[in-house]
């Protein structure tokens, strides 16, 4: 419609312009008109040499060359009157009616043409959009074998999260019957190559629904409004195919936080597109079974409006795999090539810390290429080694690659946290320990709160500080040096200690005195101290320092006592990178025996230990 209206407006503007210029031309070229009586006067004076009749209009030529026109009441009478005078008489056909008709006809034809062309264009652009949408459509019964969850390895948590979406897409009625509103938007966030696109395709494959796949940059066009109208068209089109999935890769291209430094039009275009997307998502009715999946590797720059309820209110983190995950991914891709018998992918997995799914897939392929190039018909370890050399030397590895030394101290650091958390009576159980760098933190030891506590005891808080200090303590014991790795721990510990003394009245010396302004947060949060006397301030500083120091010393004492255990846990971590609660418990019960405590280094093989291969006990046996 818009095109038609625009063209019609253009057409009328053109007409007005034409009329105006005709008017101006007319004023300049038109003959002077005189009155009939003036004409009679000239006729009586014999000033006229020639008269041309055009109907009742006459054009008069003077003897001196002057020309003008006039209207006569009765042409025939005038003609007879002129007989015998020395005036040339000529006639011209009056064509003004014909000209008018001609112009009117041309005008109508032009108008009709405008309308027809515009409508045609509109149809074409509609076809374009349909083509745009259908080009990106993958149907469940297409010729390609659908991707399923079996093709996605090493992402058990994400698969669990997304299982619900699959069952919703399969049985929307079951959900609407109980009045449950389905999730509309899911944001898959994680580094490039971790399998976000794969996962989205797998959901479509599992649910056997149509899958529309776009990239954020498809919507960023030169012209303002194109992206927005594309979004609307896509959703209109998708509604006809419901239930279905719309996947938008790199959503940050349209959903980025509006920042300065861009041209006004680019800015406008993006926010219009984003708005259109939000409006469409808000406008789903319960009968439209459409799930919008979006992927990004820059969740930090996304506009917060995207995450509001009813939009992308679910976020699934897709992170680079740990050793176990890498092994599984390698096995999935290894199944497509002819591997040597009894090939152990675990061995390869341990060689490539930090590799993403895409890099692992590439590695398998490169290895197969190596084998084929050498004329072999199976892929062996050496091929993987060659492929790895080529990959590592050829392209610079993106992302974080940490040196062996750093990994070492990281492993000790995290093991230190974990062992103290396990041994102190008042602490939360260990949920997960990892030395895979994530975000800004290098490693992580996650503890689960047993219950949502609303009140914390002195002992609990003190244990927490001691656990925080355990990271550095472990590094110090193992390498006799301090690193920057403990920065986050120290900040947290200091905040806790400050709160204990200045907020919760837990110091004997200071007493139950509130000395910091409450900032709303319960644990942690940057607190500001109130105005206080120098003497009090000094005492407070002393108390905080004492508390931190004693906790730190406690941590060192515990770890020194359990040094053998620390070494083992660190070695296991270096090997498997991530330990969950269960693994950790098994290791602790396996290794944390009285014998070890007593310092008896007995050689044994732990059957249940997930790290049996790398267990120091068995290593020692080999040596
Ligand atoms: P992203 O969208 O996160 O950038 P992709 O989904 O495009 O990553 O991954 C690229 C390729 O890497 C996939 O086609 C697949 O072959 C491989 N891949 C990535 N992650 C996995 C995984 N978890 N399991 C199996 N293959 C994976
Ligand atoms: Zn730490």
| 589-608: average pLDDT | 48
Pocket of ligand 1 (CB under 6 A): 152-155, 192-198, 295, 329, 332, 357-358, 361
Per-residue pLDDT tens for 181-240?
Answer: 777 889 999 888 999 999 999 999 998 898 888 888 887 765 666 778 888 888 888 888
Which atom, in ligand 1's list, is nearest to the CA of 199? 6
Kindly state the percentage of the chain with pLDDT values over 90. Answer: 17
Angstrom distance (rounded) from CA 579 to CA 584: 6
Q: Mean pLDDT lowest for which of 146-160, 334-348, 506-520?
A: 506-520
- Fold that domain 137-259+267-317 belongs to in CATH: Rossmann fold (3.40.50)
pLDDT the model gives residue 617: 41
DSSP-assigned beta bridge partners for residue 529: 516
Whether 572 and 435 have beta carbons less than 8 Å apart is answered as: no
pTM across the whole model: 0.53
Angstrom distance (rounded) from CA 151 to CA 102: 72
The set of long-range contacts for 23-32, using a CB threshold of 8 Å and a minimum separation of 24, is: 31/59, 31/67, 31/68, 31/69, 32/67, 32/68, 32/69
- Residue 552 scores a pLDDT above 50: yes
- Residue 608 scores a pLDDT above 50: no
Q: What pLDDT band is residue 623 in, cutting at 50, 70 and 90?
A: very low
Per-residue pLDDT tens for 369-414?
Answer: 989 988 999 999 889 888 877 776 554 344 455 677 888 888 999 9
Q: What pLDDT band is residue 527 in, cutting at 50, 70 and 90?
A: low
Residue 227 is encoded by which pair of tokens? Answer: 């992206």
pLDDT the model gives residue 25: 80
Query: Which ligand has the nearest atom to the CA of 414?
Result: 2
pLDDT the model gives residue 277: 87
Whether 526 and 484 have beta carbons less than 8 Å apart is answered as: no
Query: Which ligand has the nearest atom to the CA of 416?
Result: 2
Which atom, in ligand 1's list, is nearest to the CA of 153? 24
Which atom, in ligand 1's list, is nearest to the CA of 190? 3
DSSP-assigned beta bridge partners for residue 50: 61, 88
Angstrom distance (rounded) from CA 34 to CA 51: 14
323-393 shares the fold of 137-259+267-317: no
Angstrom distance (rounded) from CA 423 to CA 125: 69
pLDDT the model gives residue 619: 36
- Fold that domain 404-592 belongs to in CATH: Methane Monooxygenase Hydroxylase; Chain G, domain 1 (1.20.58)
Angstrom distance (rounded) from CA 274 to CA 322: 35
pLDDT the model gives residue 270: 74
By C-alpha distance, which of 442, 606, 439, 464 is closest to 522? 464
Q: What is the dihedral of CA 270, 272, 273, 279, to 10 degrees?
A: 140
Angstrom distance (rounded) from CA 530 to CA 33: 98
Centre of ligand 1 to C-alpha 152, Å, is: 8
Pairing of strands 244-249, 137-138: unpaired
pLDDT the model gives residue 614: 45
pLDDT the model gives residue 402: 64
Q: Is 361 helix (H, G, I), strand (E, B) or coil?
A: helix
Helix (H) or strand (E) holding 57: strand 57-62
**Which of the listed residues 358, 366, 398 should we mutate to test ligand 1's pocket, taking the one with most ligand atoms within 8 A of CB?**
358
pLDDT the model gives residue 597: 46
Centre of ligand 1 to C-alpha 176, Å, is: 33
DSSP-assigned beta bridge partners for residue 315: 187
Q: What pLDDT band is residue 525 in, cutting at 50, 70 and 90?
A: very low
pLDDT the model gives residue 187: 92
**Which of the listed residues 155, 195, 203 should we mutate to test ligand 1's pocket, taking the one with most ligand atoms within 8 A of CB?**
195
- What residue ranges do the domains of the chain occupy? 2-97, 137-259+267-317, 323-393, 404-592
Centre of ligand 1 to C-alpha 147, Å, is: 11
Query: Which ligand has the nearest atom to the CA of 152?
Result: 1
pLDDT the model gives residue 470: 94
Q: Which residues are catalytic?
A: 414
- Fold that domain 2-97 belongs to in CATH: 3.30.720
Angstrom distance (rounded) from CA 101 to CA 103: 5
User: HSE-up of 349 (CA within 13 Å, CB side)?
Assistant: 25
DSSP-assigned beta bridge partners for residue 138: 211
**Helical H runs in 531-600?**
534-561, 563-576, 581-591, 594-597
Angstrom distance (rounded) from CA 140 to CA 117: 38
**Which of the listed residues 357, 363, 368 should we mutate to test ligand 1's pocket, taking the one with most ligand atoms within 8 A of CB?**
357
pLDDT the model gives residue 546: 94
Centre of ligand 2 to C-alpha 198, Å, is: 34
Q: What pLDDT band is residue 252 in, cutting at 50, 70 and 90?
A: confident
Per-residue pLDDT tens for 317-328?
Answer: 888 888 889 999
By C-alpha distance, which of 439, 203, 211, 193 is closest to 329? 193
Per-residue pLDDT tens for 335-367?
Answer: 999 998 888 888 888 777 778 899 999 999 999
| 421-433: average pLDDT | 82
What is the average pLDDT value for the chain, to the nearest integer? 79
By C-alpha distance, which of 458, 456, 450 is closest to 429? 450
Per-residue pLDDT tens for 9-43?
Answer: 888 888 888 888 888 887 777 777 888 888 888 88
What secondary structure, in 3-state letters, does 466-484 show? HHHHHHHHHHHHHHCCCCH
CATH number belonging to domain 323-393: 1.10.8.60
pLDDT the model gives residue 557: 94
549-587 b/e with 16+ CB inside 10 Å = b? eebbebbbebbeebebbbbbbbbbbbebbbbbeebbebb
- Residue 548 scores a pLDDT above 90: yes
């Amino acid at each position: 419609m818009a095109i038609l209206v625009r063209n019609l407006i253009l057409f009328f503007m053109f007409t007005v312009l034409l009329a105006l210029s005709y008017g101006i031309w007319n004023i300049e070229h038109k003959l002077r008109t005189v009155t009939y009586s003036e004409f009679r006067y000239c006729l009586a004076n014999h000033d006229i040499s020639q008269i041309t009749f055009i109907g009742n209009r006459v054009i008069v030529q003077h003897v001196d060359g002057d020309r003008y026109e006039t209207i006569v009441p009765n042409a025939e009478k005038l003609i007879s009157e002129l007989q015998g005078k020395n005036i040339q008489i000529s006639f011209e056909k009056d064509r003004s009616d014909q000209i008018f008709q001609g112009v009117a006809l041309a005008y109508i034809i032009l108008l009709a043409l405008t309308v027809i062309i515009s409508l045609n264009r509109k149809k074409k652009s509609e076809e374009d959009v349909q083509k745009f949408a259908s080009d990106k459509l993958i149907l469940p019964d297409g010729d390609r074998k659908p991707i399923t969850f079996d093709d996605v390895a090493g992402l058990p948590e994400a698969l669990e999260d997304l299982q619900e979406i699959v069952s919703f897409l399969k049985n929307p009625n079951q959900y609407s019957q109980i009045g449950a509103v389905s999730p509309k938007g899911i944001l898959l966030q994680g580094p490039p190559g971790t399998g976000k696109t794969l996962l989205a395709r797998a959901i479509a494959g599992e649910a056997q629904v149509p899958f529309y796949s776009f990239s954020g940059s498809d919507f960023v066009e030169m012209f303002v409004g194109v992206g927005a109208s594309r979004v609307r068209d896509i959703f209109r089109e998708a509604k006809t195919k419901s239930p279905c999935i719309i996947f938008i890769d790199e959503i940050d291209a349209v959903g980025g936080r509006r920042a300065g430094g861009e041209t006004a039009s680019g800015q406008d275009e993006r926010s219009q597109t984003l708005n259109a997307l939000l409006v469409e998502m808000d406008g789903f009715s319960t009968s439209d079974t459409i799930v919008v999946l979006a992927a990004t590797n820059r969740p930090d720059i996304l506009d917060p409006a995207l995450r509001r309820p009813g939009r992308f209110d679910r976020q699934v983190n897709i992170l680079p795999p740990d050793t176990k995950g890498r092994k599984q991914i390698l096995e999935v891709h290894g199944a497509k090539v002819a591997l040597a018998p009894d090939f152990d992918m675990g061995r390869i997995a341990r060689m490539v810390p930090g590799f993403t799914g895409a890099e692992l897939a590439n590695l398998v392929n490169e290895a197969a290429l190596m084998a084929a190039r050498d004329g072999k018909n199976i892929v062996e370890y050496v091929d993987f080694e060659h492929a790895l050399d080529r990959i590592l030397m050829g392209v610079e590895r993106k992302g974080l690659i940490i040196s062996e030394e750093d990994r070492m101290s990281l492993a000790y650091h995290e093991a230190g946290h974990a062992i103290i958390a396990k041994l102190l009576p008042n602490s939360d159980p260990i949920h997960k320990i990892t030395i895979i760098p994530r975000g800004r933190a290098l490693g992580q030891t996650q503890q689960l709160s047993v219950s949502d506590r609303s009140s914390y005891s002195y002992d609990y808080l003190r244990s927490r500080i001691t656990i925080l200090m355990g990271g550095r303590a472990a590094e110090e014991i193992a390498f006799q040096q301090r690193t920057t790795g403990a920065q986050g721990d120290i900040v947290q510990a200091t905040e806790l200690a400050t709160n204990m003394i200045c907020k919760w009245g837990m110091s004997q010396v200071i007493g139950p005195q509130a000395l910091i302004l409450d900032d709303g947060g319960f644990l942690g949060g940057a607190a500001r101290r109130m105005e206080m006397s120098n003497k009090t301030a000094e005492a407070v500083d002393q108390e905080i320092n004492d508390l931190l120091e004693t906790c730190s010393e406690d941590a060192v004492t515990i770890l020194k006592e359990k040094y053998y255990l620390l070494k083992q846990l660190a070695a296991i971590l270096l090997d498997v990178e991530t330990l969950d609660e269960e693994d950790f418990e098994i290791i602790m019960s396996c290794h944390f025996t009285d014998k070890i405590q007593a310092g008896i280094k007995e050689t044994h093989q732990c059957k249940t230990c997930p790290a049996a291969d790398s267990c120091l006990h068995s290593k020692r046996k080999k040596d």
